Structures are given as C-alpha cells and as structure tokens.
Amino acid sequence: MSADTGRQAGFERASDFAAPVNLAYNPFEFRGLKNSILTVGVWLVAILGAIPLFSVIYMLLVKGGARLNALLFTELPPAGFEAGGGIGNAIQGTLVTVAIAAIISIPIGMFAAIYLAEVRPDGQIAVWARFLSKVLTGFPSILAGVFVYAAVVLLMGSYSALAGGIALAVLMLPTVTLTAEGAMRMVPQKMKDAAIGMGCTKAQVAWSVTLPTALPSIVTGVILGVARVAGESAPLLFTALFSNYWLRSIREPTASLAILIYNFSSMPFENQIELAWAASLVLVVIILGFNILSRFIGRPQV
C-alpha cells in the first residue's frame, strides 16, 4: 500500500469517529443569550444617553428657531422694554476673541509640539511640558479668566477683546500642543530616516516631512481646540466683559454669545429670553460646524 493510500485510509477512519459540528446560530445557547442581552443593554444605554442631547436640540430648534431671521445677525441687542433687536455684535465678538486665541495659541502650540516630538522628546523640559499641558487640559476655565484679569486687564486698565482672546488662548494651548505632538509621533520613523539619509537636517525633516504628513491630524486638533473655547463664558466675564455696541477696537470690551446667553436668560423680559434661545442655537450650530469640519479633515485618506 502506498503512502498516499494509507494516509487517505487514516483520514477516513478518523472521520468515522468525529462528531458532526453544528455551526447554526442558536440564540438560546448561553453565549448567544449573553450576546443578545449585552446588545440590548448597549442600545438601551445609547438611547438613554441620546435623550438629553436630542431634547436640548429640540428645544433649541423650537424656541430659538422662531427668532432666526436676517435682523438677528445684523442688529444690536435691545434694551429692557424694546422689541426686536439681534445678536450681531455678540457673533462679531465671539469670532474676534476666538481668532485672537487661535493666533496666539496655534504658533506657540506648534513650536512646542515640534520640540516635544522631534527635538528633545525624552528631555526633562519635554517631560515637564507634557505634564503641565495635561494639567492645563483640566484647568478650570474661570481660573484662566482670573489669571488674565490680574496679568492683562489690570495692566491695561480696562476690559478688552484682546484680554478675552488671551484667556481663551490659555485654554486652547494645551489641546493644540498635545494633539500636534501626538500627530507628529504617528509619522513613520522610516520616512524621517529616509530624509536624513538624503542629507536633510532635523529642521528640514520637521518642516518638509513630519509637518506635511501630520497636517490633517494637526488641523483636526486645532479645530477641536477652537470648538472648545468658542462656548466658554467664565473667562470672558473677567476679561472681555460685555458691550451693547459693535466692536471697533480689540482694546475695547466686547459682547460674546456665551455672555449674552448668560445675561439675557436671567432677564424678566420675553424678548431677551427669546434672543437668548436664538443665541444658544447659533452657538451650538457654530460648535457643531467646527466638530463636523474636524471629522471631515481628520478622516483617513484612502
């Protein structure tokens, strides 16, 4: 008998003793039952968590959407017993303070991230910088306002949009730094080694290889940082305060959507309360737009 014939005969004898395997899914089996219970539990938790979100969105659309018109974005806030009005100066102030925060925090955060990821990633300065950045991510926003009030507002002698932007930059800086560093660390080391092998310096590798490769993730982190500070109110109470007029200089106090909502929601006038709902809807749409943009930019490129 040949080797192939003997091997085939052995397989046939082994198959005679092998029990048939039932691969059909049985929902009442222990594993199937456990899977069904956990699946239903996850869906219930997700639905319960989504109820507050959708209820808030529904209230904003119903109560805030009723005041959405062109005048809302072009007129100034009304006085106590005055009808109509808008939130144009609050939108302007929000955009200006967030722009100042971005102009300050993005360059500093990028240079810090390059140092942490490329220059001295294991140095003592890098260790302490990462630690302080992580501490600042949980830093109470009102303390940033108090710090800028003592460091900037008292020295300038007045509240201003500039001071508000600096306070928001303090909150935005750690997000930009840590996100940019993480994105740069994800760049494959082989790409950097290839650039060094071609004669590039560390600076050229950082500017020509690391930054372009990590740019989508860096932009995502920047946009998320902007979205975080766009809705802050506590720091602006101590720095930018509020104004009923259009902003003409960054050295003047300015209105913002968050402070307008805080002020108008506690007033006894129906018109102001309606404007507070409309401002809340506008602010939520702005923040939602930033988050959607970050997801679009940071999605994997196929």
Give the pLDDT means over successive 10-residue stretches in the chain (302 positions): 53 53 67 86 94 91 91 92 91 95 95 90 90 89 94 94 96 93 90 88 87 88 89 93 94 95 92 94 92 77 50
Residue entry with tokens 């988050």: 291
256: left (phi over 0), alpha (psi -120 to 50) or beta: beta
Report which of 94, 37, 68 is spatially closest to residue 290, judged by C-alpha positions: 94
Q: For residue 167, what pLDDT is reported?
A: 96
Q: 48: which 2 tokens?
A: 């319960």
Q: For residue 23, what pLDDT is reported?
A: 62
Q: Residue 213 is inside which H or E element, if any?
A: helix 211-230
Report which of 177, 204, 196, 193 is spatially closest to residue 110, judged by C-alpha positions: 177
Q: For residue 22, what pLDDT is reported?
A: 62
Instruction: Round to whole Å and give the CA distance between 278 and 60.
Output: 7
Q: For residue 12, what pLDDT is reported?
A: 54
**Cα Dmax for the chain:** 108
The domains of the chain, with CATH numbers, are 88-298 (1.10.3720.10)
Q: For residue 302, what pLDDT is reported?
A: 46
Q: For residue 103, what pLDDT is reported?
A: 96
For 90-122, the DSSP string reads HHHHHHHHHHHHHHHHHHHHHHHHHIIIII-TT
Q: For residue 6, what pLDDT is reported?
A: 53
Instruction: Round to whole Å and give the CA distance between 225 and 227.
Output: 5
For 239-287, the DSSP string reads HT---SS----TTS----HHHHHHHHHTSS-HHHHHHHHHHHHHHHHHH
Cβ-defined contacts of 117-121 (< 8 Å, 24+): 117/180, 117/181, 117/184, 117/185, 117/210, 118/184, 118/202, 118/205, 118/206, 118/210, 119/202
Given CA atoms 263, 264, 269, 273 in this order, what sign does their dihedral have? negative
Amino acid at 238: F
- Asked whether the beta carbons of 119 and 202 are under 8 A apart, the reply is yes
Amino acid at 65: G
Instruction: Round to whole Å and give the CA distance between 241 and 88.
Output: 16
Whole-structure pTM value: 0.83
